[in-house]
Structure 1
Amino acid sequence: MEGFKNKDENFEIKSFFDSMARVMPQGSVYKDVPHFINENGNYIFCRYWEPKTPPRALVMIIHGAGEHSGRYLGIASMFTKHSLFVFSHDHIGHGQSEGKRMSVPHFRVYIRDSLQHFDMMVNRYPNLKVFILAHAMGGTIAIYVANERQSYIAGVIFIAPLVLLNPESATPAKMCCARVLYHIMPNLTLGYIDPQWLSRAQKEVRSYENDPLNYHGPYRMKFTVLVLQAVAKLEKVLPTITWAMLILHGDADKLCDIRGSFLLYKKAASSDKTLKIFNKCYHQLHREMPRVTAEVFQLIGKFKVQTWSTEDKNYSSKEKKSLNFAIVRTVKLSAFAIITPLKLTAPPGVCTCDVKHGDPEVAVGSTSILPRGCAVEVPLEYINEKSLD
């Protein structure tokens, strides 16, 4: 019939005209920016950083509470330089997405929207694996997302993930009171986040304070309880985790309990997992003092190379050989040991050993003597196995 539109076409037309009329919280119109519509009809603002060369993998960035995806430009730029396609979105009620600020009916909404965006990109690039980089509450979301899409995951990078309830502030009595108040006074104000807790770098603190897309209001009872309930359920999920992971946490973090990162590392069934603790560092390691941030970026890049060396199916055997990938593992020395590079095929940067109390560098072609109890990370072919347990 002439002029007839099927159901899908009608939906697309309606969505197009809706997007022309829907105004973002900051006043712009959604038709002019990347976005998707979630199951509740909310418009979710997206960001995409596409590499200049064909992408070898995807990276999903999941931001934390009260911030937005635009604060990850530096990390995204690092990934695109290595031919990774980066995508992210502002959670509902955050940044440039619709929704009441910092308010959702269920924590599952964050997970559901992230899965929707994840699936959109996997459908667009069906042959590419996906890395996830997540910060704070984004780490909570990432665990659920990655666990429901394990077969697609190349690895997950956590920066100060929210995994564990603080035992001092989340006693059984306090949690019981919180659940009661959640129903009686859901909008009860609990307090504000002190920007000084985010980073030791005052430049970064001012950046956070002056960013109008960040949430600078009070955290309320309903939101806090929903987050705590989601975190409380994580412990049952952790033993089912099998994907590779890199966990980075500052030991002076006042917002996400560092013991959660230790728990994640201990409980996860992954065979490829690394935990790095940064001394005297705060919450946002990717926006810390320049030396710390540089090390964070280096570790993320190194993790990507290591993961690809064993799992990335997008490299042919010929490509892997030409790139001289080396399989890396962590070993613990029980006595003085000699690590002798026998081959000179490792890529740049892989020959650096992460050794506690000194971090000496093992130079190509040299012999290094390392003390008892060191945890060393080196390519397998560089290890004199006789020196190890």
Structure 2
Amino acid sequence: MDLRFVYREGYWKNSREMRLFTCKWLPISSSPKALIFLCHGYGMECSRFMKEIGEKLASAGYGVFGMDYEGHGHSEGVRCYITKFDNIVNDCSSFFKSICELQEYKGKAKFLYGESMGGAVSLLLHKKDPSFWDGAIFVAPMCKISEKLKPHPVVVSILTGLEEVIPKWKIVPSKDVINSAFKDRTKREMIRKNKLIYQDKPRLKTALELMRASLSVETTLHEVTLPFLVLHGEADKVTDPEISKALYNRASSVDKTMKLYPGMWHGLTAGETDENTELVLGDIISWLDKRAKSNASLEFYLPVPTYKGRNINEFQEGRFRASL
């Protein structure tokens, strides 16, 4: 039993009277130095799939909170049926803010953490309330449709015409995402055995909502202003690394960092070798540690691109520190 953190589960009721599963990892020895809110990917869940990131961050002193979206994981709803992407964003916003408003967490820095589709959720949360969040971490985010994967307008038109007739039908062709996303064979099979993860074809309405969310995010990347770290495997076949480059280049954020990992796949925190996973998690914690609010100092960041070794293409901002 790890005595550095405690893990708890619960349920939260949304505005549509649906019970959504929630979980949290909290450090035992001290009050959290900042709060991290997890936004999982399409078909995924928090309690098992995001267990390692939750435990690592809590062990590093952070309070970590997650929620399974409607129709995902332990939560109520038709399995992986997204009627409106805004429902996911609004549910996350309401639940996350309810945590931030608790007396014991008032004044704590608040960071979003989004993987894949969760990257789009995080970006839309920032768009919904631009000044609320203190920063975000995007892991292989879904924030733009790759030109290689963009469907033909005729196909989109046909599917759109059918969405109100057969919205729940699982008719959208798709590759085996698990095979494409997770490099380590043992971890890949463990993920495949997780029955909380949706492994069927996407429903028609769901696929169209994912496309619309991606387009919405893509057209407003220039409106991103919060400090962020974006990480992407250069061998990712699920979300194109060019997507993260577009986010980095178009965002208006003063404090922004991009890390590209040669040879790594989509599942940076759950599907790589232990050595690679430790490297990625170490980079995430290092970035957070520099930005967790302190009563003793205030830090300002300016973008000064540099390259660092360790076989990673890293664009790292310069940092100026002002003691109070």
Q: Which structure has greater helix proportion?
A: 1
| 1:108 paired to 2:86 | yes
SS of structure 2 residue aligned to 1:285: coil
| 1:157 paired to 2:134 | no
CA distance in 2, matches of 1:127, 1:77: 23
Equivalent position of 2:119 in the other structure: 139
Say whether the 8 Å CA contact 1:306–1:328 is kept in structure 2: no
CA distance in 1, matches of 2:265, 2:153: 28
Distance apart, 1:278 and its partner CA: 1.3
CA distance in 2, matches of 1:263, 1:375: 14
CA distance in 1, matches of 2:98, 2:107: 13
CA distance in 1, matches of 2:288, 2:135: 8
Distance apart, 1:206 and its partner CA: 0.7
Distance apart, 1:376 and its partner CA: 6.7
- Where structure 1 has 5 or more consecutive residues not aligned to the other structure, the ranges are 1-31, 334-353, 360-373, 382-389
AA of the residue aligned to 1:284: G
Q: 1:357 to 1:76 in 2, by over 3 A?
A: closer
Distance apart, 1:166 and its partner CA: 2.8
Equivalent position of 2:282 in the other structure: 298
Distance apart, 1:237 and its partner CA: 2.5
Distance apart, 1:265 and its partner CA: 0.8
CA distance in 2, matches of 1:80, 1:168: 38
AA of the residue aligned to 2:278: A
SS of structure 1 residue aligned to 2:220: helix
Instruction: Single out whichever of 209-218 and 176-185 deviates more from structure 2.
Output: 176-185
CA-atom RMSD, angstroms?
A: 2.5
Q: 1:380 to 1:128 in 2, by over 3 A?
A: closer
Equivalent position of 1:351 in the other structure: none
Say whether the 8 Å CA contact 1:63–1:69 is kept in structure 2: yes
Distance apart, 1:379 and its partner CA: 6.0
Q: Which has the higher contact order (CA 8 A, sep 6+)?
A: 2
Q: Deviations over 1:321-362 (max 9, x none)?
A: xxxx987766457xxxxxxxxxxxxxxxxxxxx525867xxx
CA distance in 1, matches of 2:302, 2:289: 13
| 1:213 paired to 2:193 | no
SS of structure 2 residue aligned to 1:45: strand
Equivalent position of 1:83 in the other structure: 61
- Give the TM-score normalised by the residue count of structure 1: 0.73
CA distance in 2, matches of 1:175, 1:291: 41
Distance apart, 1:158 and its partner CA: 0.7
CA distance in 2, matches of 1:58, 1:300: 14
SS of structure 1 residue aligned to 2:231: strand
AA of the residue aligned to 1:88: G
Equivalent position of 2:4 in the other structure: none
Counting only pairs closer than 5 Å after superposition, residues 353-364 of structure 1 correspond to structure 2 as 354-355=307-308
- Give the TM-score normalised by the residue count of structure 2: 0.86
Equivalent position of 1:36 in the other structure: 12
CA distance in 1, matches of 2:110, 2:316: 28
| 1:189 paired to 2:168 | no
Q: Deviations over 1:297-329 (max 9, x none)?
A: 111011112223xxx2xx222xx5xxxx98776
CA distance in 2, matches of 1:357, 1:286: 18
Tell me which of 11, 21, 34 is aligned to 1:57.
34
Instruction: Single out whichever of 297-306 and 74-83 deviates more from structure 2.
Output: 74-83
SS of structure 2 residue aligned to 1:151: coil
CA distance in 2, matches of 1:126, 1:332: 34
Tell me which of 110, 119, 132 is aligned to 2:97.
119
Counting only pairs closer than 5 Å after superposition, residues 209-358 of structure 1 correspond to structure 2 as 209-287=192-270, 288-308=272-292, 312=293, 315-317=294-296, 320=297, 331-332=304-305, 354-355=307-308
Say whether the 8 Å CA contact 1:66–1:94 is kept in structure 2: yes
CA distance in 2, matches of 1:115, 1:94: 17
Say whether the 8 Å CA contact 2:258–2:316 is kept in structure 1: no
- Where structure 2 has 5 or more consecutive residues not aligned to the other structure, the ranges are 1-7
CA distance in 2, matches of 1:174, 1:190: 11
CA distance in 2, matches of 1:69, 1:233: 25
Equivalent position of 1:172 in the other structure: 153
CA distance in 2, matches of 1:63, 1:232: 19
| 1:69 paired to 2:50 | no
Q: 1:33 to 1:88 in 2, by over 3 A?
A: closer
Distance apart, 1:184 and its partner CA: 4.0
SS of structure 2 residue aligned to 1:165: coil
AA of the residue aligned to 2:283: L
Q: Deviations over 1:163-204 (max 9, x none)?
A: 111323323333223322323443142235342112110111
Q: 1:197 to 1:129 in 2, by over 3 A?
A: same
Q: 1:183 to 1:47 in 2, by over 3 A?
A: same
Identity of aligned residues (%): 23
Say whether the 8 Å CA contact 2:305–2:315 is kept in structure 1: yes
Larger Rg: 1
AA of the residue aligned to 2:281: F
Equivalent position of 2:22 in the other structure: 46
